[in-house]
Amino acid sequence: MKNEEKNLSPAEEPELIKNVGSLQELLRRASGMSAVSETELEDAGIAENIPFPFLALVDQTEMKLALLLSLVNPNLGGVLLVGPRGTGKTTAVRSLIDLLPKTKRSLCFYGCLEEDVEAGGMDAVCPDCAEKFGHGEPLSRLEKVRLVELPLNSTMEDVVGGLDPRAEVHDRMRLKRGILSRADRNLLYVDEVNMLTDQVVDAILDAAAQGQYTVRRGAMSATYRSDFTLIGSMNPEEGRLRPQIMDRFGLRVIVEGLKEKADRLNAYQRSRAYQENKRAFWGRYWEETRLLRDEIQACRDGLNEVELPDQAAQKGLELIEALEIDSLRAEITLFESARAYAIADSRKEVTLEDVRAVAPMALRLRQSPFIEDYLHDQNSETELVLDTLDGLITGSGGGE
Ligand SMILES: [Zn+2]
């Protein structure tokens, strides 16, 4: 967006532009912000894709928190949003466009990075990049993370790539990059993930697990870097998701419609204001959006310093054991999201409270009985996770 400086007069400045203590604080304050119905900004009439501001989404705290944590820590395994149509899942994901942090991006077709040489020597990059590296030239630059969407009707060819009929004779270059390769170091959003073919879903999940994938077409093959944060959404009324696919997602959020009448009215008013003049509505939130984006970047940069003390780790492991969850991904998501939660609160050490804050998102829908009928059991499963942990903390052996 080009108009980084917005033109609101001081009287119209939203009230919450004050010192921001943390990402969580900003999120809490901004979500309660009331909609203003008039504005002096003109609709420029340009058919740009202006996202609905993330901070203008009413309530849906857990969904927003999960999405923010996934921006802060790409290693927590992504997010799955489960809920009926019209609950704002896609709007929320697209609103992340204004919040995306920067990341190192390769300048090369094959995605070679300096760290590949550091980890695997010159053979780990293509010959061109090996030569560049030898001359001390950069292989990458800092670039904004992008939101890449995988359309529902995508074919395997679209997803992994294939033969490029227009390409020249250079063998490897005759292969065309697919969506998965373009998703490298980006966010990959897959709406209606439960409606994709098994073949496509398997390709996505394999790439997500390995951080790369190989395409073979006859005598040709190419390996592409494909290290992305996966965000999926699904309407459970339209079909189930295989448990092994469900398992690959890190955080799981049950998205429900707004319950409070005041929230529903607020959401309606904001949606109307957005439709009437998207640029103006977007501009009203820009200052806070920019603060939140900077906060996310700072959290991401500081994440490496966040420690997981033994006590918090032990309780987390006990919780997973007590809930009889087998998947090893449960620990990764629980601890990585707790680390992101801690840095979002400007702390360098994970506490039990951090573990508690993320445990329902990290652990729900990981027990097979609940996967079968989660629409009915979503609340009881959240309670079970929290009660079990509370029992473990107070030593009363809950969850037995
Ligand atoms: Zn290269």
pLDDT tens column, 246-279:
888 999 999 988 989 999 999 999 999 999 999 9
Q: Could you give the C-alpha distances from 46 to 6, 271, 305, in angstroms and in order?
A: 17, 19, 44
User: Could you say which of 258, 283, 303 is where a domain stops?
Assistant: 303
What distance in angstroms lies between residue 133's CA and the mean position of ligand 1's atoms? 10
pLDDT above 70 (res 156): yes
What average pLDDT score do residues 320-339 get? 93
Give me ligand 1 centre to Cα 108, in Å.
5
Task: Give the per-residue pLDDT at 377.
Answer: 58
List Cα–Cα distances, 350 to 25, 93, 313, 333, 336, in angstroms. Answer: 18, 27, 9, 14, 10
Q: Tell me if 338 is assigned to some domain.
A: yes
Q: Classify strands 79-82 and 140-144 as parallel, antiparallel or unpaired.
A: unpaired
> What confidence tier does 14 reach under pLDDT thresholds 50, 70, 90?
very low
Q: What is the pLDDT of residue 10?
A: 39
Q: In this structure, are 169 and 221 located in the same domain?
A: yes
Residue 336 lies in a domain: yes
Helices 352-363/310-322 angle, 10° precision: 30
| Domain CATH for 153 | 3.40.50.300
The pLDDT score that the predictor gives to residue 26 is 66
Residues involved in catalysis: 329
Q: Write down the pTM of the prediction.
A: 0.80
Name every residue whose Cβ is closer than 8 Å to that of residue 369 and which is 6 or more positions away in sequence. Answer: none
Instruction: Please tell me whether residues 284 and 327 are part of one structural domain.
Output: no
Answer yes or no: is 8 within a domain.
Answer: no
The pLDDT of residue 327 is 87
Q: Is the pLDDT of residue 4 over 50?
A: no
Residues 92 and 130 in one domain: no
CATH at 318: 1.10.8.80
Residue, of 10 and 287, whose pLDDT is higher:
287
Q: How far is the CA of 169 from the centre of ligand 1 (A)?
A: 18
Give me the pLDDT at residue 18, please.
39
Cα–Cα distance, 352 to 389 (Å, whole number): 9
Q: What is the mean pLDDT of residues 147-169?
A: 81
**110 CA distance to ligand 1 centroid (A)?**
5
Residue 124 is predicted with a pLDDT of 86
20 pLDDT higher than 50: no
Taking residues 358-370, what's their average pLDDT?
Answer: 83
- Mean pLDDT score, 138-165: 88
Check whether residue 260 and residue 314 sit in a common domain: no
The predicted pLDDT at position 38 comes to: 32
Question: Which of 281, 303, 325 is a domain's end point?
Answer: 303
pLDDT at position 382 over 60:
yes
Question: Mean per-residue pLDDT for 152-165?
Answer: 83
Tens of pLDDT, residues 34-86? 433 333 333 444 445 899 999 999 999 999 999 999 999 999 999 999 998 88
Choose the weakest-confidence range: 6-15, 125-134, 194-203.
Answer: 6-15
Judge if 216 and 148 occupy the same domain: yes
Q: Judge if 93 and 155 occupy the same domain.
A: no
The answer on 40 and 52 residing in a single domain is yes
Structural domain range at position 67: 18-98+250-303
What's the whole-number mean pLDDT along residues 316-330? 92
Whether 193 and 80 have beta carbons less than 8 Å apart is answered as yes
- H or E segment at 82? strand 79-82
What is the rounded average pLDDT of the residues 183-190?
92
Q: How far is the CA of 285 from the centre of ligand 1 (A)?
A: 40
Same structural domain, 120 and 30: no
23 and 57 together in one domain:
yes
More confident residue, 113 or 3: 113
* Number of domains comprising the chain: 3
